[in-house]
Amino acid sequence: SPSEGALGTSTVACLTQGTWTLDVALSGVLLGELLASQGQRIVRSTGEGRETLRFESSGEFTDSVDISYTMVSLTEAGDEVTVVQTHSGNPSAAWALQPDSSTVLFSGWDLGGSRVQTEAIVSGTSTGVQDLPVSEVTPGAIATQCDNGGRVTQSECGPIRKFWSLEGWPPVSGLL
């Protein structure tokens, strides 16, 4: 079983109650806000597509991802730069909780055909598509906050918090 302790038992019960869907649109907005806070002149930032997670009580974790993020910024000279990053694949791993916490630990990743590609378009001209190392996007651990109202907040994995809803529930951004 993936749980240890009272907190672990309630977290496992929450995480294993169904398929979790990422609020991709909200992730796109949050990514743009992060880049703007780092000094980039972000004009627009969006996220599209679908990503779902399943945590099985047996300790199996599966992820199905087909999303893209588009960030549009301006250079100092006023040139428009569009960066499109796509994530795809079906990675899986074993999962368990860190004792007495709601932090999920992963091991034994199978990348399942995962790809991360980035393309930059500067003033209408593509710089080409580049593949990024997928191993850099497979976490060893993520901190979670799970509630039985159909929401999971994921932090400590990547530069932004991610918000997940049980499949069939409205996305977090629809509640703001």
Q: Label residue 142 by pLDDT band (50, 70, 90).
A: confident
CA atoms of 156 and 149, how far apart (whole Å): 22
> Model pTM?
0.86
Q: Label residue 137 by pLDDT band (50, 70, 90).
A: low
Q: Which of 48, 63, 55, 58 is nearest to 11 (CA)?
A: 55
**pLDDT (tens digit per residue) in 107-116:** 999 999 999 9
Residues 169, 172, 174, 176, CA torsion sign: positive
Helix (H, G, I), strand (E, B) or coil at 155: strand
Q: Which two tokens stand for residue 158?
A: 């990547």
**Which amino acid makes up residue 109?**
W
Non-local CB neighbours of 113 within 8 Å, separated by 6+ positions: 88, 89, 90
| Secondary structure letter of residue 170 according to DSSP | P
- Per cent of the chain over pLDDT 70 is 86
Q: What is the mean pLDDT of residues 138-163?
A: 74
* Cross-strand pairs, 105: 96, 141
Q: Are 170 and 55 in contact (CB under 8 A)?
A: no
Please check the confidence at residue 53 and state whether its pLDDT lies above 60.
Answer: yes
| CB-based burial, 88-124: b 16+ in 10 Å, e otherwise | bbebbbbbbbeeebbbbbbeebeebebebeebbeeee
CA atoms of 103 and 156, how far apart (whole Å): 9
